A and B are shown apart, each in its own frame.
Chain A
């Protein structure tokens, strides 16, 4: 187990290293001079040169890369070019806001989705199952921005129950105004919910057809026990690994949803950094999101290993 953990952690470090290199390379080949962009087209060459010097843009790339990564490891992500603020400070509250949104989906929606999936799988081909299957197929087919906009039209423009944008005053906690969280959370949930439900259902159906479930039924134990002791535990293993694979999808959804509702999270900040060509900010955010992704994958893997006796004792 310890060896496994060390190996996995090592792999994460390796992955993040490769990703950081990739991010750095991608953003460095970007056409256009950052200093010129900051100062505007009318800047004098001297001013540009001074700024380049101050930003360290004249150093060779390995030096700049090491400076960036070294800083990132110490928790110093540098300074935003546009807003001139330390990136760590800018990211902190945004990360918190995004986490609120994501954790709702993760801890509320996914368990419900799994439950619905199990129910649908056990009652395969029943009316309820057909409804659940069709709805979920529609739900995974709707892009987040469509769901979001449709929800706005229904609950905000038409019914006027909820606000259409989810702006948060800087320095305040979105949890103090929970009504602004409802629509973004619902939107983000839609696709994940449907996807997880479908996976849980498919896995339950697969397990139901195994020989050991047949043995369980023919042992004469009540159906309830067959489902809860034999089917569900074995169906959960593959479902968990699918969920972990889809954390990336959740993060992508976050980017879109935050922009639909102007919610001040990492995704919104990321798009702003792209629009304003704020390279240090873009680099740091990308690395951060990749790190979050890698860590959540590790957690999912650990859960999987812990639940699976075959790996645990191998």
Chain B
């Protein structure tokens, strides 16, 4: 219902600033507040944000969803709905942006201040060639002939690493991959060599390997262009990789600001410390995984008024009376240049959130029937659609989403399946659950074959496999009370009476930490994390032997993600439930898996016990994936394995190895034209890799690569 303030006529602004004096920083934000007035009350998106950005540095703005970080970015662009009320000041080279006329704003936008957006696909006009979309910026701010503009565009394309820079401008956005689209958007932002660059979650939604190349580009840019950059992200790993300084936001406030190393090694706000301890940490030497801690409760809501207290008080482990009685002053420096909005910054350290308990991976049991075994699973789509609707040859080549997938899950174990979008990992999950009818192959549950369609399976078989999905909001029927799905599930699977089932459902909700009073609530009254916990409870309701979790924590903020992951491990420990955990997040898979399966282009490229998959020899794809994953540690030297090109479309059958055209270790003709063998690791017979290169050779090469990198870091 909100209208975008297109011409930039000033929203109501406090006119209380004094004329600027002397040497001003590039951008200075003071006491910024943004309130949206809606028919259903006020939403305080930003309550209190202050920070500065200097030329040549990257300020990371980090926080969980709803903390106001993107609103800060758009407020800096003066692009807010007309319902927004803006307070405080935003000074760009000393001039207050809030009091500029629309003509002044227009001349600054795109020229002096430019922006890079999340979801590049939607940020580009679908019906205009990408080259023209950049020329527009040049024509608006520079007097240039058509010819000059085109040359400049090609130059820009070259500088952001797009292939064939002279010609790619002729393409439409949908003809480019996600990573290429984001490069175009970056080129667009760089067109007029802006002084300030705003990047709003520029890699969110991209695949890990693509994200890594975009982050490389951004780190390289920051040295090349003499601009200040604000980099907004929810991902601590990404922030650690690109930022020089970091501002952490919580409930619309900047609660801590520090140089990046300081922040990660010595957080001065309990919330920052909590966030850091929620991120799955790298495995320790002996293979034990530290248990995740989480931040209890939920975020101070944006609809709640400003109060004279610390907004984090209700969730804080070191809270004192004073925290509830007055708001902490803006700057209580733990040290110079490291302000934190906390009364007791010196008391903050990692252990205030409890000491991590190590969790051991389960050892593989020898012998016996596995709980689930999948044999030569193939899943092709689009085979039934004919050229002339009902007859004729197939209209298009089928999509080969799963080709010859084999694996097993032992009782009580967790299999983590990793891969980028289009790797076929979700398809495999849906085939096994019986939501898609597999094209061919066997799926055995405790040795008994499972029907293709879930409707054709026995009640007993259905009760043994349950599934949890990515999108918590869609996992529960918005029209029905929360208890409904639980009660249905219990009655369906265990044949209990209504009253008995309700009692059980309450117990289940208790077990996921929600309490029986949630039975009658509607899904939309719950937060995303709560919804996902209900979805888990519904999956557990049938007492299943196997729960398939398809990206079940991907949509959640880290603090909530930790809660859900802990619920899963707890359930497993108590009931011996096996999990098939599908994710693109390597940190998560590393944390939760006993066994790992890596997929690419519909094929299994590597599989084995977690510790063997996480150490060399790796399949070249696993190696690339691991080196692409952003690590929440500013001192971690990013490894240099980068993938060119995009994930294959799967319509064209692969002649050789599915990974051949992007593989940094491609041997040439052999890899391109001959399907690779599945090699067994002599060190562990369960560890298998799909590759032409002998595993001993792979291991040597990969160890060498790690050593060179470590030497680099030491120097």
Tell whether, in the assembled complex, residue B137 and residue A214 are in contact, meaning their CB atoms are under 8 Å apart.
Answer: no
Whether, in the assembled complex, B3 has its beta carbon less than 8 Å from a beta carbon of chain A, the answer is: yes
Task: Report the bound CA distance from A52 to B568 in whole Å.
Answer: 83
CB proximity of A300 to chain B, nearest CB, Å: 18
CB proximity of A305 to chain B, nearest CB, Å: 13
Tell whether, in the assembled complex, residue B122 and residue A310 are in contact, meaning their CB atoms are under 8 Å apart.
Answer: no
Whether, in the assembled complex, B117 has its beta carbon less than 8 Å from a beta carbon of chain A, the answer is: yes
Whether, in the assembled complex, B4 has its beta carbon less than 8 Å from a beta carbon of chain A, the answer is: yes
| Majority secondary structure of chain A interface residues (helix, strand, loop or mixed) | helix
Whether, in the assembled complex, A212 has its beta carbon less than 8 Å from a beta carbon of chain B, the answer is: yes
CB proximity of A4 to chain B, nearest CB, Å: 13
- The interface stretch among B108-116, B214-222, B508-516, B611-619 is B108-116
Please indicate the chain A residues that have their CB under 8 angstroms from the CB of B107 in the complex: 220
Tell whether, in the assembled complex, residue B7 and residue A223 are in contact, meaning their CB atoms are under 8 Å apart.
Answer: yes
Q: Name the residue of chain A whose CB is nearest to the CB of B112.
A: A220
Tell whether, in the assembled complex, residue B115 and residue A218 are in contact, meaning their CB atoms are under 8 Å apart.
Answer: yes
Tell whether, in the assembled complex, residue A309 and residue B126 are in contact, meaning their CB atoms are under 8 Å apart.
Answer: yes
User: Which residues between 189 and 238 of chain A lie within 8 Å of chain B, taking CB atoms?
Assistant: 208-223, 225-226, 229-230, 233-234
> Given A214-B123, A215-B124, A218-B77, are A229 and B117 neighbors across the interface (CB < 8 Å)?
no
Tell whether, in the assembled complex, residue B141 and residue A234 are in contact, meaning their CB atoms are under 8 Å apart.
Answer: no
Tell whether, in the assembled complex, residue B4 and residue A221 are in contact, meaning their CB atoms are under 8 Å apart.
Answer: no
CB proximity of B201 to chain A, nearest CB, Å: 12
Tell whether, in the assembled complex, residue A222 and residue B140 are in contact, meaning their CB atoms are under 8 Å apart.
Answer: yes
Please indicate the chain B residues that have their CB under 8 angstroms from the CB of A219 in the complex: 109-110, 114, 136-137, 140, 188
Please indicate the chain B residues that have their CB under 8 angstroms from the CB of A307 in the complex: 127
Whether, in the assembled complex, B125 has its beta carbon less than 8 Å from a beta carbon of chain A, the answer is: yes
Please indicate the chain B residues that have their CB under 8 angstroms from the CB of A233 in the complex: 127-128
Mask for B408-428, Cβ within 8 A of A = 1, else 0?
000000000000000000000
Task: Report the bound CA distance from A85 to B697 in whole Å.
Answer: 93
Task: Report the bound CA distance from A215 to B188 in whole Å.
Answer: 10
> Given A220-B110, A230-B125, A234-B126, are A214 and B4 neighbors across the interface (CB < 8 Å)?
yes
Please indicate the chain B residues that have their CB under 8 angstroms from the CB of A223 in the complex: 6-7, 106
Whether, in the assembled complex, B79 has its beta carbon less than 8 Å from a beta carbon of chain A, the answer is: yes
Please indicate the chain A residues that have their CB under 8 angstroms from the CB of B108 in the complex: 220
Please indicate the chain A residues that have their CB under 8 angstroms from the CB of B125 in the complex: 212-213, 215-216, 230, 234
Whether, in the assembled complex, A125 has its beta carbon less than 8 Å from a beta carbon of chain B, the answer is: yes
Please indicate the chain A residues that have their CB under 8 angstroms from the CB of B137 in the complex: 219-221
CB proximity of B397 to chain A, nearest CB, Å: 15
Task: Report the bound CA distance from A87 to B227 in whole Å.
Answer: 78
Please indicate the chain B residues that have their CB under 8 angstroms from the CB of A222 in the complex: 106, 140
Tell whether, in the assembled complex, residue A210 and residue B188 are in contact, meaning their CB atoms are under 8 Å apart.
Answer: no
User: Which residues between 83 and 129 of chain A lie within 8 Å of chain B, taking CB atoms?
Assistant: 124-125
Whether, in the assembled complex, A27 has its beta carbon less than 8 Å from a beta carbon of chain B, the answer is: no
Whether, in the assembled complex, A308 has its beta carbon less than 8 Å from a beta carbon of chain B, the answer is: yes
CB proximity of B700 to chain A, nearest CB, Å: 47
Task: Report the bound CA distance from A216 to B126 in whole Å.
Answer: 12
Q: Name the residue of chain A whose CB is nearest to the CB of B111.
A: A220
CB proximity of A119 to chain B, nearest CB, Å: 14
Whether, in the assembled complex, B174 has its beta carbon less than 8 Å from a beta carbon of chain A, the answer is: yes
Tell whether, in the assembled complex, residue A218 and residue B109 are in contact, meaning their CB atoms are under 8 Å apart.
Answer: yes
Tell whether, in the assembled complex, residue A124 and residue B79 are in contact, meaning their CB atoms are under 8 Å apart.
Answer: no
Tell whether, in the assembled complex, residue B140 and residue A309 are in contact, meaning their CB atoms are under 8 Å apart.
Answer: no
Tell whether, in the assembled complex, residue B123 and residue A208 are in contact, meaning their CB atoms are under 8 Å apart.
Answer: no
Tell whether, in the assembled complex, residue B172 and residue A309 are in contact, meaning their CB atoms are under 8 Å apart.
Answer: yes
Task: Report the bound CA distance from A221 to B136 in whole Å.
Answer: 7
CB proximity of B691 to chain A, nearest CB, Å: 36
Tell whether, in the assembled complex, residue A212 and residue B136 are in contact, meaning their CB atoms are under 8 Å apart.
Answer: no
Tell whether, in the assembled complex, residue B123 and residue A212 are in contact, meaning their CB atoms are under 8 Å apart.
Answer: yes
Please indicate the chain B residues that have their CB under 8 angstroms from the CB of A218 in the complex: 77, 79, 109-110, 114-115
Selected contact of B136 from candidates A229, A234, A308, A310, CB within 8 Å: A229
Whether, in the assembled complex, B20 has its beta carbon less than 8 Å from a beta carbon of chain A, the answer is: no
Task: Report the bound CA distance from A103 to B125 in whole Å.
Answer: 33
Task: Report the bound CA distance from A242 to B27 in whole Å.
Answer: 47
Mask for A295-314, Cβ within 8 A of B = 1, else 0?
00000000000011110010
Q: Name the residue of chain B whose CB is nearest to the CB of A216.
A: B125
Please indicate the chain B residues that have their CB under 8 angstroms from the CB of A208 in the complex: 4, 6
User: Which residues between 138 and 153 of chain B lie within 8 Å of chain A, taking CB atoms?
Assistant: 139-141
Whether, in the assembled complex, B635 has its beta carbon less than 8 Å from a beta carbon of chain A, the answer is: no
Whether, in the assembled complex, B119 has its beta carbon less than 8 Å from a beta carbon of chain A, the answer is: yes
Mask for B128-168, Cβ within 8 A of A = 1, else 0?
10000000110111000000000000000000000000000
Task: Report the bound CA distance from A218 to B189 in whole Å.
Answer: 10
Most A C-beta atoms less than 10 A away, residue of B6, B107, B128, B174: B6
Q: Name the residue of chain A whose CB is nearest to the CB of B121.
A: A211
Mask for B81-113, Cβ within 8 A of A = 1, else 0?
000000000000000000000000111111100
Task: Report the bound CA distance from A212 to B109 in whole Å.
Answer: 15
Please indicate the chain B residues that have their CB under 8 angstroms from the CB of A226 in the complex: 6
Task: Report the bound CA distance from A226 to B136 in whole Å.
Answer: 10
CB proximity of B109 to chain A, nearest CB, Å: 4
Mask for A1-42, Cβ within 8 A of B = 1, else 0?
000000100000000000000000000000000000000000
> Given A214-B79, A309-B172, are A220 and B141 neighbors across the interface (CB < 8 Å)?
yes
Taking A215-B185, A219-B140 as known contacts, 13 extra A-B pairs with beta carbons closer than 8 A to each other, sorted by chain A number, are A208-B6, A210-B122, A215-B124, A218-B79, A218-B110, A218-B114, A219-B137, A220-B106, A220-B110, A221-B139, A233-B128, A308-B127, A309-B127
Sample (30) of A-B pairs whose CB atoms are under 8 Å apart: A7-B388, A211-B119, A211-B122, A211-B123, A212-B124, A212-B126, A214-B4, A214-B117, A215-B115, A215-B117, A215-B125, A217-B4, A217-B6, A218-B109, A218-B114, A218-B115, A220-B105, A220-B140, A220-B141, A221-B137, A221-B140, A226-B6, A229-B128, A234-B125, A234-B126, A234-B127, A307-B127, A309-B126, A309-B127, A310-B126
Q: A: which residues have CB within 8 A of B?
A: 7, 124-125, 208-223, 225-226, 229-230, 233-234, 307-310, 313
| Cβ-closest 3 pairs across A and B | A220-B110, A220-B109, A219-B110
Q: B: which residues have CB within 8 A of A?
A: 3-4, 6-7, 77, 79, 105-111, 114-115, 117, 119, 122-128, 136-137, 139-141, 172, 174-175, 185, 188, 388
